[in-house]
Amino acid sequence: MERGYRGHSPYPCVKRGGGGSGESEGSSIPSEVRLLQPFDYIKPKSLEEASRFLAAHAAEARLFQGGTDLLIRIEGKFIRPRYVVDVKNLDGMREIVYNENGLTIGAAATMNQVADSPVVQQHYTILAESAATVGSYQLRNRATLGGNLCNASPAADTAPALLVLEAEAIIFGPRGRRTVPLAEFFIGPGKTVLEPGEILTSVHVPLPPSGSAGRYLKLGRTRIGDIAVIGVAVLGYPYRANPSGTAWRIALGAVAPTPIRAPRAEAVLAEATDEAAVEAAALAAMETARPIDDIRASAAYRRAMVRALTRRGVNEILSVLTARDREG
């Protein structure tokens, strides 16, 4: 296990302000530059070592991958970890593997890796699309898929896409490996089922349903670079057993304490997909949402936008399925 020096963060994250100008006494650091509070940077050589360390220091250690959430929380003094444990370079943590069982993405794969992966683009378009909406290109070079999920923001962009793809979290911990459906992974804002010493190692996504098409629609305050005001993921596919001949999965982000599925909307579309049914499904999705008022939007606006984006997403998928049907 390697340890970085204790003192300042290895990242020159600085903050303006601090009530002064010029240089601090006895220091070459200008006083308007405030460094992160000190922590020890720990670089374990294996998952076992990382897990043991995390379990032994549960209250004072935090996992670190891209740091785009973690360092901001440290800098804002929301958390004060004594140890920051970097696992992103451990074996397999950045791999993207596709085979007959589906897709496995290492937790430390970056958003750009996911968005640009040919297999993700070809077979899991909705996931590539959602990863590409995260922040800016520069941010996506650091921000990881695992960090996005473990940070457990209700607005995490990849979560709705992974929910409709029925992904699973692969976790390593003191008692070995376990698999948790992503639908059970989030338990509240900033909270997951991860126990002390547990590490998300990868995300497994089963093969998508045959003939499926998916769309992730994100509404932010700006066209790019902002956290979602709401996010709607829609996946539809031919399914003869349903009266509508189709089956649907719809998930919503930023409208509840965790990303959620919208089962009532899905059920409406299993019955019919005419204009009235699409409207009823959009309304059902809106009623499933339990948004709050916050700095980004009011709850009422979020509800209205869930309805609008669900309608739009379902109509777009219907067009794709209908066109494919015509082509035979």
For ligand FAD, the binding residues (CB under 6 A) are 62-70, 72, 87, 107, 134-135, 139, 142-144, 146-148, 150-151, 156-157, 194, 199-200, 227
Stated length of the chain = 328
> Which residues sit opposite 303 in a β-bridge?
none
Shortest distance, position 156 Cβ to ligand FAD, whole Å: 4
The tokens for 252 are: 């919503």
* CA–CA distance, 205 with 202 (Å, rounded to integer): 10
* CA–CA distance, 54 with 64 (Å, rounded to integer): 12
Residue least distant from ligand FAD (Cβ):
147
Task: Tell me phi and psi for residue 19, to 5 degrees.
Answer: 70, 45
Shortest distance, position 30 Cβ to ligand FAD, whole Å: 23
Residues 6+ apart with CB under 8 A from 78: none
**Residue 67 or 236 having the CB closest to ligand FAD:** 67
Name the nearest CA neighbour of 257 among 210, 291, 288. 291
**Residue 199 or 230 having the CB closest to ligand FAD:** 199
**Residue 65 or 288 having the CB closest to ligand FAD:** 65
Q: Are the beta carbons of 237 and 196 closer than 8 angstroms?
A: no
Shortest distance, position 186 Cβ to ligand FAD, whole Å: 12
Shortest distance, position 248 Cβ to ligand FAD, whole Å: 23
Shortest distance, position 288 Cβ to ligand FAD, whole Å: 21
**Residue 157 or 168 having the CB closest to ligand FAD:** 157
Task: Tell me phi and psi for residue 248, to 5 degrees.
Answer: -140, 145
* CA–CA distance, 65 with 94 (Å, rounded to integer): 10
Shortest distance, position 61 Cβ to ligand FAD, whole Å: 9
Counting runs of H as helices and runs of E as strands, what totals does the chain give? Answer: 12, 15
**Residue 294 or 325 having the CB closest to ligand FAD:** 294
**Residue 103 or 247 having the CB closest to ligand FAD:** 103
How many other CB atoms sit within 10 Å of the CB of residue 118? 10
Alpha-helical (H) ranges within 57-180 are 70-75, 111-116, 118-123, 125-132, 137-140, 145-150, 158-164
Please give the helix or strand (H or E) that residue 216 lies within, else none: strand 213-220
Shortest distance, position 132 Cβ to ligand FAD, whole Å: 10
**Residue 117 or 212 having the CB closest to ligand FAD:** 117
Coil/strand/helix, residue 103:
strand
> Which residues sit opposite 237 in a β-bridge?
247
**Residue 148 or 246 having the CB closest to ligand FAD:** 148
The tokens for 215 are: 């769309």
Shortest distance, position 232 Cβ to ligand FAD, whole Å: 14
